[in-house]
Amino acid sequence: MRILHISQSYPPMVSGAALAVAHLAEGAAAEGHDVTVIAASDREVGYVEETGRIRVCRLPARDNPARVGQRYLLWPQRHIQALVTSPRPDIVHLHEPLLLGLCTVRIMRRLQIPLVVTLHQLPWFVTKYAPSFGGQPLNVEWLVWRYGGWFMRQCEAAIVPLPLVSNLVHHYTGYLPHTISYGIDLKRFRTEVAALTEGAQLRRKYGLPAGKPIILHVGRLDRDKDVDQVIRAAAEAMATTDAILLVVGDGRDREALVQLSEALAIGDRAFFTGFVDNDGDLPGLYRLATLFVTASEIETFGIVVLEAMASGCPVVAVNAGAVPHLVLTGYSGFLVPPGDVAAIADRVAWLLAHPEAARRMGQNAAGLSQEYDGARSLERHLDLYRAICGG
């Protein structure tokens, strides 16, 4: 098949959607399919590159004011139309239903090319950035749900990564999407404890003191991810332990979060690495961690949660979004009420105080992660493409 992916982001730009698109593109190309990706350029100008067996067309884009290191396509109708004319794809897989999505729908309907969309985010993400009126944020969630329902019906199929998300979408829109997880490379994120040499090297590289338990958080450091709650909870838990906090990722709020850690008197025990590559040190940092914690309420899948689980980390997370489908409280970690910093701190402290139980939960988490093997996810996507294209 000739498969075209259209996405705002693609590596080296980092996001959950970018990783999901890369996994699908690389997997399909490895099976002999002709794969092209259209994405925002990571430079000032557009360009085309061949990465392995994938053709990546990076279009001129603007800086994203909400995301560090991200750029976005506004209305690239002329570029997309030129790229789908020759060679004509058998199917187009869209990963952005907003302006880029509207532009794409117009073209594909006119050319009668089958279109599939994956919803990587749901309306609760948008509400985090909603403008205020009279001191109160505008309630745009209903409008986004209504638009999403209309948009999915313009496509041959819509995909979400988990049954919980599918149920939510169906409840609010009346449309039942397909459920296919993103999947991760389980060979990369493995459960073996970091070897002494690897662990020592990573601790030296990132300035981490030897032998101290590590509370790990990985993700964007932006307002919608509620990382301030992670830092406040870690500070409470660290008051009675010698653990350190390791924050991996970058974003608009990074400096404010560093200042928060200093204000909470854990500045000398909180380590901010900036962005760390999936193909570099990140798997080793997961293996080095004692536990993983997130306070995000907006996840539609939770790739970093799954990576932590596959690496043998017990997880402390909030009971919101799609994460409850991944974390079984008391078995692979703990779920706590959203926004409850004291509850997060309590569960983090408990895991630090019970290392054997934490290790057992980490092993359980690794076992649960096997359900989300990347190869299985790829085949389910390809099966859907074939069904839509008539075999």
Mean pLDDT, residues 209-226: 96
Give the integer Cα–Cα distance in Å for 33 and 26: 10
Say if residue 200 is in the same domain as residue 338. yes
Residue of 136 and 241 predicted with greater confidence: 241
Express as a percent the part of the chain with pLDDT over 70: 93
What pLDDT score does 99 carry? 86
pLDDT in tens, 30-69: 999 999 999 999 887 899 999 888 999 999 988 777 777 7
pLDDT in tens, 289-304: 999 999 999 998 999 9
Mean pLDDT, residues 237-257: 97
Say if residue 172 is in the same domain as residue 205. no
Say if residue 150 is in the same domain as residue 206. no
Please count the other Cβ atoms lying within 10 Å of the Cβ belonging to residue 69.
Answer: 16
What pLDDT score does 63 carry? 79
Mean pLDDT, residues 306-317: 97
Give me the chain's average pLDDT, please.
92
Checking if the pLDDT of 196 tops 60, the result is: no
Say if residue 11 is in the same domain as residue 147. yes
Say if residue 159 is in the same domain as residue 245. no
Per-residue pLDDT band at 141 (split at 50, 70, 90): confident
Determine, yes or no, domain membership for 188: no
Domain that holds residue 345: 196-372
Total domains present in the chain: 2
Say if residue 351 is in the same domain as residue 381. no
Determine, yes or no, domain membership for 219: yes
Ordered alpha helix ranges (H), the chain: 16-30, 77-85, 99-111, 123-127, 141-152, 163-173, 196-205, 227-238, 254-263, 282-288, 303-310, 341-353, 355-369, 374-389
Query: DSSP letters along 138-165, please?
Result: ---HHHHHHHHHHHHTTSSEEEESSHHH
Residue 285 in contact with residue 202, Cβ under 8 Å? yes
Give the integer Cα–Cα distance in Å for 238 and 253: 22
Say if residue 153 is in the same domain as residue 256. no
Per-residue pLDDT band at 259 (split at 50, 70, 90): very high
* SS3 (DSSP) at 193: coil
Residue of 12 and 312 predicted with greater confidence: 312
CATH number of the domain that residue 332 is part of:
3.40.50.2000
pLDDT in tens, 331-375: 999 999 999 999 999 999 999 999 999 999 999 999 999 999 889
Confidence (pTM)? 0.88
Report helix angle 341-353 to 227-238, nearest 10. 50
Give the integer Cα–Cα distance in Å for 245 and 238: 9
Determine, yes or no, domain membership for 190: no
Per-residue pLDDT band at 280 (split at 50, 70, 90): confident
Say if residue 298 is in the same domain as residue 286. yes
What pLDDT score does 93 carry? 99
Checking if the pLDDT of 261 tops 70, the result is: yes
Per-residue pLDDT band at 218 (split at 50, 70, 90): very high
Say if residue 204 is in the same domain as residue 150. no
Determine, yes or no, domain membership for 73: yes
Mean pLDDT, residues 228-252: 97
Highest mean pLDDT among 177-191, 267-281, 345-359: 345-359
Q: Is 183 exposed, middle or buried (0-12, 13-18, 19+ CB in 10 A)?
A: buried
Say if residue 333 is in the same domain as residue 378. no
Say if residue 278 is in the same domain as residue 297. yes
Say if residue 300 is in the same domain as residue 383. no
What pLDDT score does 192 carry? 65
Per-residue pLDDT band at 16 (split at 50, 70, 90): confident
Residue 75 in contact with residue 107, Cβ under 8 Å? no
Long-range contacts of 187-191 (CB under 8 A, 24+ apart): 188/278, 188/283, 189/283, 189/286, 189/307, 189/310, 189/311, 189/369, 190/283, 190/287, 190/310, 190/311, 191/287, 191/310, 191/311, 191/312, 191/362, 191/363, 191/366
Determine, yes or no, domain membership for 22: yes
Checking if the pLDDT of 128 tops 80, the result is: no
- 314, two tokens: 């017990």
What pLDDT score does 131 carry? 60
What pLDDT score does 137 carry? 58
Measured CA to CA in angstroms, residue 285 lies from 73, 141, 216, 222, 290 at distances of: 33, 36, 8, 21, 10
